[in-house]
Structure 1
Amino acid sequence: MHPSPVSITVHAKSRVLEIAFDDGAAFRLPFELLRVYSPSAEVKGHGPGQEVLQTGKRAVTVTAVDPVGNYAIRPTFSDGHDSGIFTWTYLYELGRDQAARWADYEARLQAAGASRD
């Protein structure tokens, strides 16, 4: 059984999605992290090696969050992106692995000569 959220709060001013799970874990996920790790085909591609590096997303905001059944949410971002369906499991993994994902993202940006801005 995977943890389920007990609360989800969008903090527009600080650009953070706060999510608490029924196992006691709680995470503050920056909108930028959610955007650059969107589980959409636009970001992930359609298979290994087809990922698209997202750049210039530091100031992205979340303008809406829609529920998807009882298993996920679909945020709409200020840049128009709205095709990522974030399951509870994926949100939990993003929170748990946040430091490693940031490090990986920053390394990929640097290797590409790109920026978060």
Structure 2
Amino acid sequence: MSTVTALKLRKTSRVLEVTFGDGRTASLPFEYLRVFSPSAELWGHGRVEPMLVGGKREVQVLRAEPVGRYAVKLVFGDGHDTGLFTWDVLDRLERDYAANWARYEARLSEAGMSRDRDVTSLRALLHR
């Protein structure tokens, strides 16, 4: 089980700095945390991948609310505030960042979406 010893919201650079109990540190972008939020809204019941959400490049985290000694609830500027980022979830997101991010960008491209736009472009629809 992972533990987190410190969390810092870096609003200017839009990253959550996480210090783990084993001494590792991670800077997790707000956009990444938003599109991989562990909420039922994104993951539903039994999904292998989260629902695809675009247009979150500039998303902010307004605040981080501690939940006991095992998680944090992030309140995003777009109103999303469900899903608890447990220490294990943050650990997994840090460890799988490169693969998760590559897959996310590929899925956006396949859907004709972008990090700046949350809908499929007309061009992409015409070429399907």
Inter-partner Cα distance in structure 2 for 1:62 and 1:40: 15
Instruction: Please list, as runs of the form range in 1=range in 2, the aligned pairs for 1:19-98 lying within 5 A after superposition.
Output: 19-48=18-47, 51-98=50-97
Q: Matches of 2:12 and 2:54 in 1, distance apart?
A: 21
Counterpart code for 1:76: V
Distance 1:49 1:97 in 2: 15
Q: Displacement of 1:51 after TM fit?
A: 3.5
Runs (5+) with no aligned partner, structure 1: none
Amino acid at match of 1:95: E
**Percent of residue pairs identical:** 53
User: Once the two structures are superposed, what CA deviation does each residue of 1:87-116 show, in whole Å capped at 9, x if it has no partner?
Assistant: 000101111111111101001101111000
Structure 1 window deviating more from structure 2 (61-70 vs 44-53): it is 44-53
* Cα distance change of structure 1 residues 49 and 23 upon mapping to structure 2, 3 Å threshold: closer
Give the Cα separation in 2 of the matches to 1:16 and 1:50.
22
Q: Output the CA distance in 2 between the equivalents of 1:48 and 1:34.
A: 18
Letter of the aligned partner of 2:87 in structure 1?
W
Q: Superposition RMSD on alpha carbons, in Å?
A: 1.2
SS of equivalent to 1:99: helix
- Greater shift, 42-51 or 82-91, is seen at 42-51
TM-score (norm 1): 0.94
The answer to whether the 8 A contact 2:5-2:19 is kept is yes
Runs of 4+ in 1 over 3 A off after TM superposition: none
What displacement does 1:24 show? 1.4
Q: Which runs of 5+ in 2 are unaligned?
A: 117-128
Instruction: Give TM-score scaled by structure 2 length.
Output: 0.87
Distance 1:101 1:42 in 2: 18
